[in-house]
């Protein structure tokens, strides 16, 4: 049977090919704006890291720096370093490379689940359910149903869920769902920063946004193919950079993740 097309299926995109010890090669689609989507590189880097970790360890955080823009016409090589294997935690460092050099550097930490008190303070806001909202996704890999901008400046929210195929995509099921959330989580941060930029209202088509760095804390196991509310708010702009901070909730109100991203906003040349 021929392998599934990684440009048409998220699960197939995550089934990267091993190329030597702790090295994987992945590909993806060309996106509407050209180049690669940052969420794809983060998701594949996380998948590569997870492939070197015992499934008993679940990812609890990742931190990524975008170094160069990716080229959609070229595969991406993910080189994993086994930074530490501990009894409770494992740490991995991943460098994503193309011909031009490194395009992303990611660190991920994995933990064995522990029996300990569980407390949730963050709460799901009262919003319109996803079934009553028109879909605006630009990708066949996930559904996106945006809510109207919030009352506070720079506040954006959307219901989103991954479109996954049968199978595990070459990584354990929890790792696949974490990677799918990572893929989706790169969406709203730039929108939130755009919304408070004074240039946005007058000339938004000539305002380009780029992800600089990205962090996710995974609080609880999740099913990325179910509806989750992603909330995001940009805290401000300085030196062309905007910091967006957000939370991810299940439809039942369970807080599953926290996301931060620093965005670069510049006028197009």
203 a catalytic residue:
no
Choose the catalytic residue: 9, 211, 213, 244: 211
Phi, psi of 21 (to 5 degrees): -60, 125
Written as six digits, the tokens of 241 are 């950079």
Written as six digits, the tokens of 2 are 């021929």
Fill in the DSSP letter of residue 130.
G
Q: Contact at 8 Å (CB) between 220 and 258?
A: no
Q: Contact at 8 Å (CB) between 227 and 248?
A: no
What is the distance between the terminal CA atoms of the chain, rounded to a whole angstrom? Answer: 46
Smallest Cα–Cα separation from 103: which of 64, 63, 62, 70?
A: 70
Smallest Cα–Cα separation from 42: which of 156, 181, 148, 141?
A: 181
> At what angle are helices 173-184 and 38-50 packed, to 10 degrees?
160
211 a catalytic residue:
yes
165 a catalytic residue:
no
CA 203, CA 239: separation in Å to the nearest integer? 19
In the block, tokens 């030597």 appear at 20
Choose the catalytic residue: 40, 107, 139, 186: 186
Q: How many residues does the chain have?
A: 269
Q: Contact at 8 Å (CB) between 183 and 162?
A: yes
Question: Which residues carry out catalysis?
Answer: 186, 211, 261
């Amino acid at each position: 049977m021929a392998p599934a097309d990684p440009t048409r299926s998220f699960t197939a995109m995550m089934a990267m090919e091993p190329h030597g010890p702790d090295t994987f090669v992945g590909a993806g689609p060309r996106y509407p704006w050209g180049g690669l989507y940052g969420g794809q590189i983060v998701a594949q880097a996380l998948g590569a890291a997870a492939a070197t970790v015992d499934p008993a360890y679940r990812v609890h955080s990742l931190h990524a720096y975008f170094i160069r823009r990716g080229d959609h016409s070229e595969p991406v090589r993910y080189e994993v370093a086994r930074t530490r294997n501990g009894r409770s935690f494992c740490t991995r460092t991943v460098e994503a490379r193309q011909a031009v050099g490194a395009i992303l550097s990611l660190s991920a930490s994995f933990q064995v689940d522990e029996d300990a008190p569980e407390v949730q303070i963050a709460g799901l806001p009262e919003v319109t359910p996803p079934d009553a909202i028109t879909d605006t996704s630009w990708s066949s890999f996930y559904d996106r149903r945006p809510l109207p901008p919030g009352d506070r400046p720079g506040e954006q929210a959307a219901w989103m869920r991954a479109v996954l195929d049968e199978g595990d995509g070459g990584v354990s099921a929890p790792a696949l769902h974490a990677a799918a959330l990572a893929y989706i989580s790169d969406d709203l941060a730039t929108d939130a920063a755009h919304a408070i930029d004074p240039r946005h209202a007058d000339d938004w088509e000539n305002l380009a946004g780029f992800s600089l760095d990205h962090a996710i804390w995974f609080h609880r196991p999740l099913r990325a193919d179910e509806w989750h509310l992603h909330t995001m708010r940009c805290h401000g702009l300085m030196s062309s950079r905007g910091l967006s901070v957000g939370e991810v909730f299940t439809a039942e109100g369970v807080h599953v993740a926290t996301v931060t991203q620093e965005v670069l906003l510049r006028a197009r040349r």
